[in-house]
Amino acid sequence: MTPEMLLTMIVLVFVIVLFVFEWVRVDVVGILMMVLLPLIGLISPGDAFVGLSSNAVISIIAVIIMGAGLDKTGVMNQVARPIIKLAGRSESRIITLIAGTVGVISSLMQNIGAAALFLPAAQRIAKRVGIPASRILMPMGFCAIIGGTLTLVGASPTILLNDLMTIEGRQLEPFGLFTQTPIGICLLITAILYFIIFGRFILPSGTGESDESVTTSLMEAYRAFDTIFEIHVPQGAAGTGRIAELDLQARYLVTTVAIHHARRNEKNFVPRSTDKIEAGDDIAVLGRKKNVMKMAEEQGWQVKDTLDVFAESLSRTTAGMAEVIVSPRSELIGKTMSETDFKTIYGVNPIALFKGNRIYYSGLTHIRLQMGDTLLLFGPWDRFHILKNYPQPRSLTFSTPLEGEILRPQKAKLAVIWLAVALFQVIFLKLQLSVALMSGALGMILTGVLKIEEAYRAVDWMTVFLLAGLIPLGIAFEKTGTAAFIAEGILGLIGDPSPIVLLGVVGLMTSFFTLVISNVGATVLLVPLCMNMALMAGGDPRMAALVVGLSASNTFVLPTHQVNALIMKPGGYRTVDYAKAGAFMTLLFLIVELTVIYFFYGI
């Protein structure tokens, strides 16, 4: 053993201790390594920061930017909508569709983003069909985690692999974006089958907290609204004419928030009292269900089951509610909303006014506003964002967070095109992953899918520094011969196993390490070690690296895993539920992963 090896081992022990006890955050351990390793002479100062320019880091930055671009244009919502419609009423079909889609989306996007996208819909479907949300959410969460194994850029550990695959000074052939896809697909299918067959036995049947958006909690707080209803005004209906004449607010406590004028084929999202409702029009209203029904009956209107004409424009990702307070020094003080032409200027509908200790639901626009009066507004999120960005002194101060963001649906096609361009370069031109993905990200920025500031803001700096800092450690581990030295020692102890047994041990070891320390940390420490062990045992070092990379995603039993944390309360899960459902999943994961590798990857 050389002094360098000894030093490396000391550093490794130190790093493991830091990972286990978490005295500093994992990414800070990464930064520490970038500084410490050149200081003690284990790597040259020039190599200290190579991690920052590594394939892994650039790929992650590019993937995050492209994902943010897809979010920003609402592409993902458009993907989700038809799938949710297809779900039907059968539990296994709902699980297959939702969990399967989430898995596929996570293959190229952040896994938690995919899960979060489907979370509200999954909860709604569960409620509608009458099955506990817990039966759908955990399959969805687990598939989001597994989805990360579908492509090389699906999860942090696999992205790292190509940068760590150096052995005895030679660079091994890098993995392609889809090398691991067959394994991922088998894992995804296994997970879905596992939950369809055993779900009812291993998942609790409780319903967790319901989907509480700011809009729904505001509706509850004001007590005069159940949800948004869409109504069709048929030919010959009694209720036609100016809104002011119909007097819907005063008679039914119902507020009209949008009108689709059939004759002009035009949608009006800030209907005013002078606007007319005519036969053939569709309107969207807010109010209590019983009031809306009564109104529809008396006016001869038809209430639709779901949003139809306004499905897109009034969906919760594009429009909703916010509560605002009339600010000190606001120009609205002392004036009525009709005097200030509130709807035209702000482009949102006032729904209720909280003044003193009274709430007004009708005649709001004729009440003089005072500082501190609270208004409940309904409108598209982009209008709210514009309002919020007014320079100081703002006339209105927001008392609730804004749920939605400004979307650019008109750029959706461009976002998809750039993603396709990036993938085309990877698959057909065999371009290096980082270059291909970054060109897609750049394309999105150049064509205005998202602004460069938005791209910078989206980047996950914690993951960037974690990867960038630990890559030099992995390199030093291999370069100093320490990995080979330890591998030799371990093999000396356990004898000469066959390659598949060795891979089994590698998978088991990684799955265990990942539970105790960060999965990226586990990958960095185990890849050099396991590649050496595989080489000495006559196996394929690349496969050993792949098993480590994939098994690092085998973290189903952790309730603190980012995806599990997301679904824990909505699913009403307890820690023990993850342990129960996750332990078996962990085992299945290993069996399927090794079986596919054994039969199809030629170990």
Partner 1 sequence: MAIITISRGCFSHGKEVAEKTGEMLGYKVISRETLIEEAAQVYHVPEKELIQSVHAPSVLERFTRGKEQYLSYIQAMLLEHAVHDNLIYHGHASHMLLPDISHVLNVRILADIPDRIAFMQQSHAISDKEAMRHITAEDQQRARWADYLYKIDITDPNLYDIIIHIKNLNIGDACNIIYHTAQMDAFAATPESRQAIADLALRSRVTAAIESAVKLDMKYAVNANSGIVHIRTGTPSIRKTSYMNQNTQDYLREKIKQETRDEIAQAIKDIPGIKNVIYEIAPPDYT
451 near partner 1 (CB under 8 A): no
| Span of 287-295, 305-313, 559-567, 593-601 interacting with partner 1 by CB under 8 A | 559-567
Interface with partner 1 (CB under 8 A), residue from 463, 482, 511, 532: 463
Q: What residues contact 56, with CB distance under 8 A and at least 6 apart?
A: 159, 160, 162, 163, 467, 471
Write each residue from 193 to 232 as x if it is in contact with partner 1 (CB under 8 A), else as -, in one continuous string.
----------------x--x--------------------
Nearer to partner 1, 533 or 557 (CB): 557
CB-based contacts of 125-131 (< 8 A; 24+ apart in sequence): 125/84, 125/87, 125/94, 125/98, 126/94, 126/207, 127/207, 127/210, 129/89, 129/91, 129/94, 131/91, 131/94
Pairing of strands 170-171, 166-167: antiparallel
How far is residue 333's CA from residue 384's CA, in Å, rounded to a whole number? 20
Asked if 42 and 8 touch (Cβ cutoff 8 Å), the reply is yes
Nearer to partner 1, 461 or 600 (CB): 461
Nearer to partner 1, 312 or 405 (CB): 405
565 near partner 1 (CB under 8 A): yes
501 near partner 1 (CB under 8 A): no
Q: Which residues, 515 to 554, sit near partner 1 by CB under 8 A?
A: 518-519, 553
| Span of 62-70, 263-271, 407-415, 534-542 interacting with partner 1 by CB under 8 A | 62-70
CB count within 10 Å of CB 463 equals 21
Region of residue 329 (phi > 0: left; psi between -120 and 50: alpha; otherwise: beta): left
558 near partner 1 (CB under 8 A): yes
Q: What residues contact 172, with CB distance under 8 A and at least 6 apart?
A: 165, 166, 531, 541, 542, 545
| Span of 32-40, 94-102, 148-156, 321-329 interacting with partner 1 by CB under 8 A | 148-156
395 near partner 1 (CB under 8 A): no
- Of 151, 147, 205, 200, the closest CA to residue 178 belongs to 151
63 near partner 1 (CB under 8 A): yes
| Span of 242-250, 289-297, 339-347, 561-569 interacting with partner 1 by CB under 8 A | 561-569
Identify the helix (H) or strand (E) that includes residue 585: helix 575-600
How far is residue 34's CA from residue 48's CA, in Å, rounded to a whole number? 5
Helix axes 156-164, 55-72, angle to 10 degrees: 150
Interface with partner 1 (CB under 8 A), residue from 68, 530, 557, 581: 68
55 near partner 1 (CB under 8 A): no
Provide the residue count of the chain. Answer: 603
Q: CB 564 → partner 1: shortest distance, Å?
A: 9
| Span of 40-48, 59-67, 373-381, 429-437 interacting with partner 1 by CB under 8 A | 59-67
Interface with partner 1 (CB under 8 A), residue from 5, 7, 459, 491: 459
Region of residue 203 (phi > 0: left; psi between -120 and 50: alpha; otherwise: beta): beta
Interface with partner 1 (CB under 8 A), residue from 26, 146, 319, 530: 26
Residues in touch with partner 1 (CB under 8 A): 22, 25-26, 60, 63-64, 67-68, 71, 110-113, 116, 145, 148, 154-156, 209, 212, 401, 405, 457-460, 462-463, 518-519, 553, 555, 558, 560-563, 565-566, 569
